[in-house]
Chain A
């Protein structure tokens, strides 16, 4: 049994070491980072974080990312709910083909779409807006949301629908009052995955924005390429991008494994 416990511990150490190193660096001054090699900060400083929280060109990136990720999660979940219901309850002309076609969009490399997206959103005047990034991310998040929600909905017995209709519920009222509460954890898991894939994506978000909606990750790459690299601030910015994800995991920790299991398994 000892070896068995050893494997996950080793793996978690492997996962956390690079993250620890980033956190460690974010509390160091640049002098300390570059001159001496230390395993923990000798002169603990909050200077790097202060830079980010006081400079608008830094913290606006976080706000932009949060805005388009939220819009994307709302669009993905609200649009996917009725579609997933249709796929799980009814058969209709072309349903299987449509479902497969939706999934193929999950397989499309974002690199293929970067340039056409840029032209498309420029031509309709949405370039450099939050809504453009949110809609672009729907390309892979909507199919995923439909896929996961369909899995959850198929786990709800059909008798619930039928009983409600016999009781005189109209479809919208039944859907909101009875069905949605039944798949609440499924919606949570779906929102989690939409958040995750929209939050981590960079290529499309960077291509579709210039100034007003520039995501934090794009601001970081700009800093990397600039001369006179400020390692401490870069590390602090990195740590701050990990935090929202960590918070979200904390809230859905009991649902993650279940979500993986129920989402089409």
Chain B
């Protein structure tokens, strides 16, 4: 670590960022807090209702259902994308013409606007005009994501894997590239198996990138809105109505400001809390294993 000089004037350098982010974050957040404790009959007349919206929210089946769907979705996404990303990163070439080909084609899905990702999969999965839907139908598999909840879930999950696994791959690949060749040579001399090379050399080196990958993937999958909205619109029924979709329905569709604001705050706190838990747990694992390695 670099020893940092104490200098309170540094605040002036941070000030522009602080002001812009405060403007875009604190004012809207205060508006949300404001709505969450008040009710209105229109005409901008508000009165205080205290914690009522929160109590209602905690006991609402709709919120429980959306929350469980969201947890399940993020869980599945992490369980698929993280191991898959590691496997692909391990298999990627380290030098030669394959590297730019891999990097460019893998980064491509990350830069497609999210609604276009939705559109691509909407088209791709349609039985009448899409390659995937058509192939499945001609194999005799009954697949229709607009009517069958399981097909809708599968479509959304495959789409997210398609869209975001590359982020895990690129991060892990960057971590792997930072391992000096000498480590592998030493392992070879010791006659280490493929698995122990992975377990004791590659995995520890990827730890920090993996932490970032898991955090980013968790946060973004927990906030997912646009892609499932384009593909399924939250349906069929409510089967793919995740938290953000439900929230937007409530706030913009029905204009229930109080409940929507209460839900926003709970939602935000849940993300903060879970991210913090992930961060703490993963950093602890990191410390323990690096202690173990030193012993």
Contact = CB atoms under 8 A, between A and B. Distances in A.
Contacts of A104: 272
A27 interface: no
A202 B115 CA distance: 7
Given A15-B105, A83-B14, A238-B116, A114 B20 contact: no
B130 interface: yes
A15 B174 contact: no
B121 interface: yes
B225 interface: yes
B203 interface: no
A4 B14 contact: no
Nearest to B244: A111
B92 A8 contact: yes
B214 interface: no
B111 A107 contact: no
Given A18-B162, A82-B13, A154-B2, A241 B247 contact: no
A114 B6 contact: no
B14 A14 contact: no
A86 interface: yes
Contacts of B108: 15-16, 19, 242, 245-246, 249
A195 B275 CA distance: 25
A231 B170 contact: no
A93 B108 CA distance: 41
A234 interface: yes
A143 B230 CA distance: 28
Interface residues of B, number: 94
A196 B107 CA distance: 11
B212 A7 contact: no
A90 B5 contact: yes
Interface in A72-100: 75, 79-80, 82-83, 85-93, 95, 98
B154 interface: no
Most B C-beta atoms less than 10 A away, residue of A80, A88, A238: A238
Interface in A1-53: 4-8, 11-12, 14-19, 21-22, 25, 33-34, 37, 39
B157 interface: no
A146 B28 contact: no
B43 to A, nearest CB: 16
B32 interface: yes
B20 A142 contact: yes
B238 to A, nearest CB: 16
B31 A79 contact: no
B252 A221 contact: no
A200 B6 contact: no
Contact of A265 (B6, B23, B212, B244): B212
Interface string B247-260: 11001100001001
Contacts of B129: 25, 33-34, 37, 231
Contacts of B110: 196, 200, 245
A217 interface: yes
B11 A257 contact: no
Interface in A90-138: 90-93, 95, 98, 102, 104-117, 119-120, 135-136, 138
A199 B113 CA distance: 6
A111 B13 contact: no
A17 B131 CA distance: 9
Given A91-B6, A93-B8, A264 B13 contact: no
A173 interface: no
A254 to B, nearest CB: 8
B21 A256 contact: no
Contacts of A34: 128-129
B113 A241 contact: yes
Interface of B: 2, 4-11, 13-14, 16-18, 20-21, 23-25, 27-29, 31-32, 87-88, 91-93, 98, 100-116, 119-121, 123-124, 128-132, 134, 162, 165-166, 169-171, 173-175, 177-178, 208-209, 212, 219, 222-223, 225-226, 230, 243-245, 247-248, 251-252, 257, 260, 264-265, 267-268, 271-272, 275
Given A7-B91, A216-B113, A258-B174, 6 more contacts: A82-B13, A86-B10, A241-B116, A242-B111, A249-B107, A257-B174
Interface of A: 4-8, 11-12, 14-19, 21-22, 25, 33-34, 37, 39, 75, 79-80, 82-83, 85-93, 95, 98, 102, 104-117, 119-120, 135-136, 138-139, 142-143, 146, 154, 158, 196, 199-203, 207, 216-217, 220-221, 224, 231, 234-235, 238, 241-242, 244-246, 248-250, 253-254, 256-258, 260-261, 264-265
